[in-house]
């Protein structure tokens, strides 16, 4: 057996770190652990962000992050696992992109870093301190890495395209509703100077409100 190198130790540390973070985020979405919103809260957030149906997307994201994080930490099927996690983080980064780069302003910095780390592991492999090595790279070969990269890139593009369509429909519906409200309300026309208004007609000569005749 070949000796363990510094690169193998470095990959182990990176896998455990990134995988642990991803698994924690996934359990927030699925179970509400660590202060997360659970499926209901995550589904509502994703639905409002254009990912429809929200519950299905919440389940997919939660399972991908949880299972992907555990498998990445263990170094099992690393090309496929790393590519799947990178795809999820690419979608998250695109969602945060309107807020800029830095995480302190709600930008895409954090998911971009996690995605780059996961994608790097997918391409480089898990190293010798992994289950892939124990299984003689049956699930971690170079061809699988290329195949996983192509498939996840296509899936990412499809998800983002569907989100853009959903947001466009949402904007069109909001504009249509705003136009309908404006038509039903009608323009407010100010009274001509000197012309009696409704409130002045409803008042008597003494300036008190005229409530009409009083029945005996």
Residue 22 lies in a domain: yes
Are 148 and 125 in contact, with CB atoms under 8 Å apart? no
Residue 211 placed within a domain = no
pLDDT in tens, 67-94: 999 999 999 999 999 999 999 999 999 9
In a domain, 83, yes or no: yes
Dist. CA 144–CA 148, nearest whole Å: 6
Lowest-pLDDT range, 24-38, 117-131, 151-165, 186-200?
A: 186-200
| In-domain check, residue 92 | yes
Residue-level pLDDT at 212: 44
CB 42 within 8 A of CB 61: yes
Within-domain flag for 213:
no
**Number of domains within the chain:** 1
Q: What is the pLDDT of residues 91-138, one digit of tens each?
A: 999 999 999 999 999 999 999 999 999 999 998 999 999 999 999 988
Domain range for 58: 7-176
In whole angstroms, give the CA distance from residue 132 to residue 71.
10
- In-domain check, residue 114: yes
Q: How far is CA 17 from the centre of its chain?
A: 22
User: Rounded to an integer, what is the distance from CA 162 to the centroid of its chain?
Assistant: 13
Q: Which residues contact 147 (CB under 8 A, 6 or more apart)?
A: none
Is 80 inside a domain boundary? yes
Asked whether residue 208 is domain-assigned, the answer is: no
């Amino acid at each position: 057996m070949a000796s363990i190198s510094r690169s193998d130790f470095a990959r182990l540390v990176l896998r455990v770190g990134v995988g642990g973070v991803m698994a924690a985020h996934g359990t927030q979405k699925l179970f509400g652990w660590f202060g997360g919103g659970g499926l209901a809260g995550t589904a509502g957030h994703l639905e409002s962000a254009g990912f429809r149906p929200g519950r299905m997307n919440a389940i997919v994201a939660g399972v991908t992050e949880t299972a992907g994080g555990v498998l990445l930490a263990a170094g099992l099927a690393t090309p496929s696992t790393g590519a799947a996690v990178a795809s999820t983080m690419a979608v998250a980064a695109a969602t945060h992109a309107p807020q800029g780069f830095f995480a302190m302003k709600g930008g895409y910095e954090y998911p971009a870093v996690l995605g780059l780390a996961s994608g790097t592991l997918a391409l480089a492999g898990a190293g010798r301190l992994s289950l892939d090595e124990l299984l003689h790279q049956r699930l971690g070969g170079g061809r699988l890495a290329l195949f996983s990269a192509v498939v996840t890139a296509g899936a990412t593009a499809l998800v983002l395209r569907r989100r853009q369509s959903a947001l466009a429909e949402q904007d069109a519906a909001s504009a249509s509703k705003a136009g309908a409200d404006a038509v039903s309300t009608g323009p407010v026309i100010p009274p001509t100077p000197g012309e009696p208004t409704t409130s002045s007609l409803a008042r008597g000569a003494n300036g008190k409100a005229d409530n009409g005749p009083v029945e005996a």
